[in-house]
Amino acid sequence: MNTAPIKKRYYFISALVIILGIILLFLPFNKNRNQLSAEKLLLSITNNDRFFSTDEVAKFIISGDPSYQLIDVRSEEEYAKFSLPGAINIPLSKILNKDKSGYYEWEGYLNQKVKTNIFYSNGSIYANQAWMLTKRLNYPNNYVMKGGLNEWVETILKPKQPEASASQSALNQYDFRIAASTYFGGGSNISADSSDKSNTKNNTTSAKKKKKKSADGGC
């Protein structure tokens, strides 16, 4: 700083920064440029990639596949009354909750690459909404159980016998469903909403919050 040439460089840099500042003053500021575009979102809503059928979900549960995580997006009361084995409860109204330090409370479960999350609710609507929120946040590996618990009751717990002329695959599917309904303690002649169904949820686990924090900065 004591010599003149360095000073000259300072003048040059100052002028350059001011010019850049003036340019920035008139440049438009883009927001959300790289978020999921409307077209892409529409495309992923209209195609059915996000759905798992109730049969597939039943297979995951019976085989005890640890790479799948069922997530019940109904309210806590409904979850307490009945839920699928192994499901955790993240109510739809609380999915975007932030914890005390301002991070998404459930991010550890919803934004991860290890497990395949499957949302379910009574029908498809709330599970779809949960899926939409996570999709918009660009969280990977989230799916929806098609038809929800209503479909679950109709297909797995109380399967209808296909006609004798039905295809072999339909008959096989029926056999699987009969076996599954026995496994889930249903049996085709017991109504699904009877209270003794609640004993199927004895191995459900309540969700603990996992934290996924970005590193803090410092000097």
Partner 1 sequence: MGPLITQGIISPEWNPMIAFIVGLGFGFALEQAGFSSSRKLIGIFYGYDMIVVRVFLTAVLTASVGLLFFNYLGWIDYDLVFVNPTFLWSAIIGGAFVGLGIIMSGFCPGTSFSALSIGKIDALAFIIGIGIGVFFYAETFELLFEKLYYAQNLGGIRIYETFGISPGLFMFLFILFGLGIFWFTIFIKKKYSNRNLKY
Site string for partner 1, 131-170 (x = CB under 8 A): -------x-x------------------------------
Q: Residue 49 or residue 196: which is nearer to partner 1 going by CB?
A: 49
Closest CA to 200 of 216, 218, 183: 183
Is there a contact between 162 and 177 (Cβ–Cβ < 8 Å)? Answer: no
Select the span of 19-27, 62-70, 149-157, 171-179 touching partner 1 (CB under 8 A): 19-27
128 closest CA partner among 21, 41, 202, 18: 41
Q: Which of 4, 5, 9, 28 binds partner 1 (CB under 8 A)?
A: 28
Binding residue for partner 1, selected from 9, 31, 64, 169, defined by CB under 8 A: 31
| Residue 5 makes contact with partner 1 by CB under 8 A | no
Nearer to partner 1, 20 or 125 (CB): 20
Per CB under 8 A, which region of 27-35, 39-47, 81-89, 191-199 contacts partner 1?
Answer: 27-35
CB of 127 to partner 1, least distance (A): 24
How many whole angstroms separate alpha carbon 153 and alpha carbon 193? 8
Helix (H) or strand (E) holding 23: helix 4-26
The Cβ of residue 130 has, within 10 Å, a number of other Cβ atoms equal to 24
In this chain, which stretch among 54-62, 70-78, 95-103, 162-170 interacts with partner 1, using CB under 8 A?
95-103
Task: Measure the CA–CA gap between 187 and 185, rounded to whole angstroms.
Answer: 6
Read off the amino acid at residue 84. L
Q: Tell which residue, 214, 216, 219, 217, has the closest CA to residue 104.
A: 214
By CB under 8 A, name the binding residues for partner 1.
1-2, 10, 14, 17-18, 20-22, 24-35, 100-102, 138, 140, 214-219
